Amino acid sequence: MKTKKLIVKSRTENLSKIRDFVSSNASEAGFSKDEIDEMILAVDEACTNVIKHAYKFSPDGDIILEIKFDDNALTITIEDNGISFNPDVIPEPDLQKYYREHRVGGLGMYLMKTLMDEVKYKSEPGKFNRVSLTKKLKSA
Amino acid sequence: MADFSTILKEQGDISVIKLKGYLDAHTAPVLENKFDELIKSSKYKIVVDFADLAYISSAGLGVFMAYIEKVRENQGDIKLASMSDKVYNIFDLLGFPLLYEIYKSEEEAIKKFSE
């Protein structure tokens, strides 16, 4: 099992650094290009949600990313110390609603669930929120 | 830092926005500004060319949702063109082809405005 860690501030300009971190490690773990693209997007969505919702665009929160992988799977854990939320109340995507309201919401979470094999949330209000995204290696 | 830029081209009364690079939560405001400019000058026939767009996240998709109704209320449209398979798949996953016309090429999208 290999473990890599990255800590960045809650700023959207850091999303590209986060994507590079996912890309290089997923590549080392042996995933295909398409699978790596899926993981990059899922992690981007998770971190965008942290910046937007947990830290409400306050730029000095910490986003702690940890990647663990072995021959079977890769798990990316994203932790923050911002505002907690209940993942069960986030609605499924509804395009007609977005059209009426001129905005999208909940797309990120839907993408994470669709693009990854497993998505887990753990939240201790006032302490931390943690989302773990896992993708299995097909060759395993 | 993510690299994203747009090039605006006018073809008759049609505005073509060419996207380049990475469209995420950081760069989405750049595209929002482009749409704001067009709408301010009453240009509602818009084609977005995705040929050089390497990446899009839901923050980027949200930009199209923010302006589509306003544009259509003014007898215009936002037509999308030249997406890579990778970018198209994200639009498709979220059901966007139901709401937006997506064409293989910029020329095809432009032509549709005169039909």
B3-59 pLDDT per residue, tens: 999 999 999 999 999 999 999 999 999 999 999 999 999 999 999 999 999 999 999
As a whole number, mean pLDDT of residues A69-92 equals 90
Write down the pLDDT at residue A126: 87
pLDDT band at B110 (very low <50, low <70, confident <90, very high): very high
Q: Which residue of A has its CA nearest to B69?
A: A99
Residue B40 C-alpha from the chain's centroid = 17
Residue B91 and residue B61 in contact, taking contact as beta carbons nearer than 8 Å: yes
Q: Is the pLDDT of residue A90 over 90?
A: no
The whole model's pTM is what?
A: 0.94
Q: B115 vs A11, B2, B109, B110, CA distance in Å?
A: 45, 38, 10, 10
Write down the pLDDT at residue A140: 54
Give the E-state strand segments of A10-112 in sequence order.
Answer: 62-69, 73-80
From the list B3, B57, B93, the residue facing A48 with the nearest CB is B57
Structure tokens at B42: 């009453």
Sheet architecture: strand order including B4-11: B4-11, B14-23, B45-56, B77-81, B102-103
Lowest mean pLDDT among A50-64, A83-97, B82-96: A83-97
Structure tokens at A73: 């799977």
Q: Which residues of A touch B57 (CB under 8 A)?
A: 15, 41, 44-45, 48, 108
Write down the pLDDT at residue A99: 77
Strand partners, B48: B17, B80
Q: Is the pLDDT of residue A100 over 60?
A: yes
As a whole number, mean pLDDT of residues A112-132 equals 95
Q: Is the pLDDT of residue A9 over 70?
A: yes
Q: Pairing mode, if any, of strands B4-11 and A2-9? A: unpaired
Q: Is the pLDDT of residue B89 over 90?
A: yes
Write down the pLDDT at residue B115: 84
From the list B22, B59, B86, the residue facing A37 with the nearest CB is B86
pLDDT digits (tens, 9 = 90+) for A35-80: 999 999 999 999 999 999 999 999 999 999 999 999 999 999 999 9
Structure tokens at A2: 């290999």
Lowest mean pLDDT among A26-35, A88-97, A130-139, B76-85: A88-97
Q: Is the pLDDT of residue B1 over 60?
A: no
Q: Which residue of B has its CA nearest to A105?
A: B62
* Cross-chain residue pair B25–A110, CB shorter than 8 Å: no
